[in-house]
A = this chain, B = another copy of it.
Amino acid sequence: MRETTLRDVAELAGVSPRTVSNVVNGYAKVTDSTRAKVEAAIAELGYRPNVLARNLATGRSGQIVVVVPYLDTPYFAELLQAIIPAARKVGYNVLIDQTDGDRQHEGELIGRGSRRFLFDGMIISPLGLSQNDLSQRDPDLPLVVLGERVSDGTFDHVGIDDVAASTEAVSHLIAIGRRRIAAIGDQPYPTGEAAQLRTRGFRAAHEAAGLPVDESLIIGTARFNRIDGATAMAALLDRADPPDAVFCYSDLVASGAIHTALGRGLRVPEDIAVIGYDDIEDGRYSQPTISTISPDKKAIAQLAVDRLLLRIAGHAPIPGVELRAPHELIPRQSTLGY
């Protein structure tokens, strides 16, 4: 049996399709009496508007896509959990894409591909793309970039102040008396800008405290996963002069690092203090609980969605802006011990 269409409703109600459309969308004014007739017909026929047809007619899909490198990384999962309701509240469905941090995949998404028609705008947290790649995107695609990149002025960017946050984290380690502090997660290459900002904060905190930076204590990792943290920590502990504290560039890294330290019989934080970044739920339940930098994920989500809507609506080109969400230092057992 065929789906009932707007035309069927119009016929039954004895009005034109135009009027039914008006009623359904609440557009123009409709007399109470005709509205009642139409609504009765809708109910009787069990009519539901065909979104596909509407999309074609309006040229909009009512969907936005959120692109993250990994869905099963808690930070991104939690961020999505915040973005979805924010988008839905303003009438948008959320499509989700994971890229595995693959540059080519990310590039295809922001390029002028056929999938473009599926979404009205995109929020992307790029990993493999360089600044340059980002500038090569489909110029008509409303775009908001998440994470630690500086915009080239043609798109918007939402993030926390990573340098400030990292400085706070390391200053906290200094404040509890640590002097040989390591950093795990640096990525000294073009696509590692996010990591580099944290390294900058690491240096800034040392400088502010008048402490020298031991460059050999800055450990690079390919990703921000537990395994990276575990491996890096092992390398640090193998040294003749291991650090007494570690600033990890994500909570997952911290989790892996702690795993290694405990496995070697060390006490955290007594022997080695650890602080992470992201404030994922795990960190509140692990043993010990993980001190961290907590980005305001709801604020990030809201800022990103609001800004994207603005871009979708705006016809004239809008200059790109940097939007900063708040963050907070949350000391827990892995630095305080209690």
B48 near A52 with CB under 8 A, answer no
A259 near B287 with CB under 8 A, answer yes
A51 near B287 with CB under 8 A, answer no
CA distance A245 to B80 in the complex (A): 36
Task: Type the 1/0 row for A176-197, where 1 means its CB is closer than 8 Å to any CB of B.
Answer: 0000000000000000000000
Which residues from B are CB-within-8-Å of A286?
255, 259, 286-287
Asked if A115 is an interface residue, CB under 8 A from chain B, the answer is yes
Asked if A281 is an interface residue, CB under 8 A from chain B, the answer is yes
Given A77-B72, A230-B285, also A48-B259 (CB < 8 A): no
CA distance A93 to B96 in the complex (A): 9
Q: Which of B50, B80, B94, B258 contacts A117 (CB 8 A)?
A: B50
Interface residue tally on A, bucketed by range: 35 or more
A75 CB → nearest B CB, Å: 10
B285 near A287 with CB under 8 A, answer no
Which chain A residues (226-260) contact chain B, with CB distance < 8 Å?
226, 230, 255-256, 258-259
Asked if A118 is an interface residue, CB under 8 A from chain B, the answer is yes
A81 near B52 with CB under 8 A, answer no
Given A49-B114, A56-B55, A70-B81, also A94-B93 (CB < 8 A): no
B287 near A48 with CB under 8 A, answer no
State the oligomeric state as a number of copies. 2
A231 CB → nearest B CB, Å: 12
Which residues from B are CB-within-8-Å of A70?
81
Task: Type the 1/0 row for A76-117, where 1 means its CB is closer than 8 Å to any CB of B.
Answer: 011011001000000001111110000000000000111111
Asked if A46 is an interface residue, CB under 8 A from chain B, the answer is yes
Mind listing 26 A-B residue pairs with CB under 8 Å?
A46-B112, A48-B114, A48-B116, A48-B117, A50-B117, A52-B52, A52-B56, A52-B61, A71-B77, A71-B84, A72-B81, A74-B74, A84-B98, A93-B115, A94-B95, A94-B96, A95-B96, A226-B285, A255-B282, A255-B285, A255-B286, A256-B285, A262-B287, A282-B282, A286-B287, A287-B287
Which chain A residues (15-59) contact chain B, with CB distance < 8 Å?
46, 48-53, 55-56, 59
CA distance A207 to B18 in the complex (A): 69
A72 near B78 with CB under 8 A, answer yes
A80 near B74 with CB under 8 A, answer no
